[in-house]
Structure 1
């Protein structure tokens, strides 16, 4: 595992695309998400104050990433709690899931930021992982639940 750097914006973008298009029954595809304003909200200007994360690598290839970003109240993300709490994104690359990589990444993020939030869409099986790692539901945003680790 290593820290995300300024040159890793492509990993944040790839992770966002995997996270946004998590549901195989309703894929929208990369072009849809890159055109959606949410893409720029979560990935644009990567490396600004409050941005950070980790990359999991195995045998020289990326297998997953976790990242966080601080949002302002007037530009809140889906998992926004307050302006001091970073919002987390996490993705495990296809073919690498089910091996504990997500749990490892999540624990690394929580170690860095004990108070951190996320949004999980209804029906996403990752919610069980978040709950097992101490995240609790604190609200709703669209068709997702805002969860907080504190």
Structure 2
């Protein structure tokens, strides 16, 4: 698996649409049928991309060798009032990650995850959290390989945490 055909950059506010597309991909990987049209009315999901570009938002986007976006990994801080089952505390942002179907199986998920973890650590983020459907074995394996640990279980999801080394 090689990621040499991908270029990476930090997200900007204008990436909200692509992040929404990747959020739909992530939802589908968890067995949820969600569409871009329905996303704004689905507040439990839309909160991960709504008004993207806030000062604490942090993300990485990969483009293929033709400049087409191929995947993204991003994090967002929440507070208890809008917390998801993956909420740990106000200092631990939640991570979302997805790739396009054509980019799967090429190591892109791993590369995105590693870059976002490094970027978050450099920004002083102490830890990251996420929820992953227990039946999504490729994602489960990716997170295990990167040192994520089970924090708790919520419904059909494993809530994982990764403590970051500050750089």
The two structures have a TM-score, normalised by structure 1, of 0.91
Q: Is the 8 A contact 2:80 2:89 kept in 1?
A: yes
Quick check: 1:20–1:33 contact (8 Å CA) kept in 2?
no
The one of 86, 107, 110 equivalent to 2:114 is 107
Partner SS state of residue 117, structure 1: strand
Q: Structure 1 residue 32: deviation in Å?
A: 4.6
**Count of residue correspondences:** 148
Which residue of the partner structure matches residue 137 of structure 1? 150
Residue deviations 1:54-83, cap 9 Å, x none? 001112111110010000012112321110
Residues 63 and 71 of structure 2 are in contact (CA less than 8 Å); yes or no, is this contact kept in structure 1? yes
Corresponding residue for residue 57 of structure 2: 51
Do structure 1's residue 81 and structure 2's residue 60 form an aligned pair?
no
Contact 1:77–1:87 under 8 Å retained in 2: no
Partner-residue secondary structure (3-state), 2:53: coil
Aligned CA RMSD, in angstroms, stands at 1.5
Structure 1 gap segments, 5+ residues each: none
Which residue of structure 1 lines up, in the alignment, with residue 129 of structure 2? 117
> 2:48 is paired with a residue of what secondary structure?
helix
In structure 2, C-alpha distance between the alignment counterparts of 1:71 and 1:8, rounded to whole Å: 20
- Please give the TM-score of this superposition, normalised by the length of structure 2: 0.82
In structure 2, what is the equivalent of residue 4 of structure 1? 11
Q: Is the 8 A contact 1:78 1:119 kept in 2?
A: yes
Structure 2 stretches lacking a partner, 5+ long: 1-7, 122-126
Structure 1, residues 75-128: CA drift from partner, whole Å, max 9, x if none?
Answer: 112321110011100001011101000000000111122421111012012111
> CA offset at residue 15 of structure 1?
1.0
- How far, CA to CA, are the matches of 1:139 and 1:29 in structure 2? 25
Q: Is the 8 A contact 1:4 1:53 kept in 2?
A: yes
Corresponding residue number in structure 2 for 1:98: 105
